[in-house]
Structures are given as C-alpha cells and as structure tokens.
Amino acid sequence: MTRPWTQWVLLAVALAMAAVYLFPLYWMYVTSLKTNSEIFANPPSFWPADPQFAIYPGVWARRSMSTFLWNSTIIAAGVTAVTVILGTGCAYVLARYRNAWVDVGLFCILMLQVLPASVMITPLFVGFNQVGLLGSPRLAVILASAAKAMPFFVVLVRATFMSVPRELEEAALVDGNSRVGAFFTIVLPLARNGILVCAILTFMSAFGEYIYSKSIIQDPRFQPASVGLSGFLGPNSSDWNAIMAYSAIYVTPILAVFVLLQRRIVSGLTSGALK
C-alpha cells in the first residue's frame, strides 16, 4: 500500500542530496563566467548576466596550466601503473590462498588504509630525503601515493578474483596449462573489468592528490594542478572567477571520464565483473 508513496519520498530525498552535492559544481561553473562585481552581488545571481568566456584561455595561459595538468597526468598514470601491476598480483594471492599468513597480510593492508596522508607525510619526507628521492620529486610522489592507493585497490580486486570460479583455473591446469599460464589466459581476462574499474578510480583519485605533491614537490615546473590551484589563494587575493575557471578546467576531464564510464564503474563494482 505504502510502496509508491515511500518511493516518491526516497526519490525526493535522493534528489535533495544530489542537489546539495552537485551545487558547488554548478556554482563553480557559474562563478567562473561572472564578472567581478556580479560575483559579490547580493542577492546572488544564479546565471551570469554577461558570460565572460575569455577567462578560460586567459587562465590557461597565465597560470601555465598545460604544465600543471601534464604533471598531474604523469603522476596519476605512474600511481595507476604501480598500483595495478603490484596490486593485481597481491590481490590474486590473497584471493586464492587461505591461511593465517594471508589473514595477517590482509590485516596489514587494511591498516595502511587507516593511516591518513597528513600523518604519513613527515616520516615519508624524511625517508625520501635520506635516500635522495627528493631529487626526482614526481617519482617520490608516485611512490607515496601508490602506497596510499594500494589497499583500496587490493581489497576491491581481491573480491573480483574471488568471484572467478576456482574450477575454471583447475580446468585450465588439467587442460595442460601451468599456474602462471592459467592466471594470464583464464583468470586475468575474466577479472579484467573489475581491475579496469579499480584502475580508473585509482587514476582519478591520484589526479586530485594534494598533500604529498604539495609537501614533496617544491619546483613549480613539477607541480600538479592541485598544487597549482593553491597558488591563487594568497592573503590578499580575491581572484574568484580565475580560481573557478582553473577548477573547471581541472575537474571537467575527470567528470567527463566518470560520466562516460559510470555504467561500467557501477556494474564493475557490484557484479564482480563476471560474464
């Protein structure tokens, strides 16, 4: 009896929540197009009266955004590569073997997830400094962020591997394949979707990484876009439309990828990527 009624209420709640979460995004795009006086107008306007599209090329050139975005891409790609290559093997082992050592390993990995980046950065900085890694700061950030991304990746990909029936692997063994061969020709192709989805999520979170980059990379030539954005925020600056334009340029590619792949991401996370 109450079902249609409850459905509408839940839908309304969902829409309200979505609006709360998406409003800043909308405000970012709108503000970036406003003139300086319109930004501070009271009451605020929800649509720019006179859109200033010239702000985008202006900010792009003025803030050398091509360098920042390129650095972000390099760091995100590096983090994803390290995480996928090491994490996939790790997840497979944790999925296929069950004993006390595996439980200990899994526990340690989950503990890694608990430690926040802001706690880890000081010891990491000191350690990297001693081994001379600060000379190649982007590599240092890649290593630090990959360690941070690893637990999440391993736990999710492990679940994907567990959904691949063991019998398939056994069939491959009896059919004449080795364990390694069975992994590459049977298990890996079947877990591909799940791994892909986790890799995309890893890439996107590494693309927005801030704490490690800000602390480790001093030279602006190597800084990613997230650090570059903070350069706007001086004690006296109020260049809001430029900040918003910068953010829009930074966020839009990620958003586009997410929208394009969202069906795959959702199904990959829920179905275990089989079939």
Partner 1 sequence: MSNVQIELTGVDKHYGQFHALKDINLSIEKGTFVALVGPSGCGKSTLLRSLAGLETITGGTMKIAGEVMNDVPPRKRDVAMVFQSYALYPHMRVAENLTYSLRLKGTPKEQALAAAEEVARTTGLSHLLGRFPRELSGGQRQRVAMGRAIIRHPKAFLFDEPLSNLDAALRVHMRKEIRALHDRLGATSVYVTHDQVEAMTMADRVVVMRDGVIEQEGAPLELYDKPASRFVAGFIGSPAMNFVPAMISEDGQAVLLDLPDAPRLPIGRALEPGRRVSAGLRPEHLTVTNAETAALRLPVGVVESTGSMTYISSGTDPEITVVIHGRSPLSAGEVMGLTIAPENVHLFDVESERVI
> Is 15 or 171 the residue whose CB approaches partner 1 more closely?
171
Of residues 131 through 190, those in contact with partner 1 by CB under 8 A are 165, 167-168, 170-178, 181, 186, 189-190
Residue 103 near partner 1 by CB under 8 A: no
Residue 73 contacts residue 262 (beta carbons within 8 Å): no
Of residues 55 through 84, those in contact with partner 1 by CB under 8 A are none
Query: In the numeric block, which tokens belong to residue 141?
Result: 């950030």
Give residue 34's Cα distance to chain centre: 30
Q: Work out how close the CB of 176 gets to partner 1 at its nearest, in angstroms, rounded to a whole number.
A: 4
- Separation between Cα atoms, residue 146 and residue 58, nearest integer Å: 34
Q: Work out how close the CB of 192 gets to partner 1 at its nearest, in angstroms, rounded to a whole number.
A: 8
Interaction mask 24-43, partner 1, x per CB under 8 A:
--------------------
> Is 83 or 193 the residue whose CB approaches partner 1 more closely?
193
- Separation between Cα atoms, residue 64 and residue 220, nearest integer Å: 10
- Separation between Cα atoms, residue 33 and residue 94, nearest integer Å: 50
Classify residue 213 by burial, with Cβ atoms within 10 Å: 0-12, 13-18, 19+.
Answer: buried
Site residues (vs partner 1, CB under 8 A): 165, 167-168, 170-178, 181, 186, 189-190, 274-275
